[in-house]
Amino acid sequence: MPDPFPIEAVNHIARVTHDLEASLVFYQNVLGFRPIRRPNFQFPGAWLFNYGVQIHLIATSERNAPTSDISMRDDHVAFHVTDTDVVEKLLAEHGIDYRKNYVADTQVTQLFFLDPDGNHIEIGTYPPAQELA
């Protein structure tokens, strides 16, 4: 079997958006990402950075109906926090619906919600990863 790729870290997460302004407000004001320089591409978008990772927003005019159902088993990006109570309070202040889940065997509290385009986001308190023996 060939060696695995020499991956060092996650560089960015790309999100397609139908409303660039709404996504910018969400990723900046709700999640705390900050705008960074973006190359002069021939299509609209924005790049943001915080927490050691970039978010690349890619604007499109193609319309897919965004989901309004919050799922714990759909594609999502997850961010680690030390206090989900603070996040719950902030989600309420921003008027964002969410689902809460507790995983007893790992003692992980998870909060699931959607960005303006219906992309799933998870916030949780995660223990260090444990490799299988």
Fill in the DSSP letter of residue 47: E
Q: Which of 21, 62, 88, 122 is catalytic?
A: 122
Cα separation, 96 vs 92, whole angstroms: 6
Q: Read off the tokens for 102.
A: 């507790």
Residues 6+ apart with CB under 8 A from 44: 20, 59
122 a catalytic residue: yes
Active site residues: 122
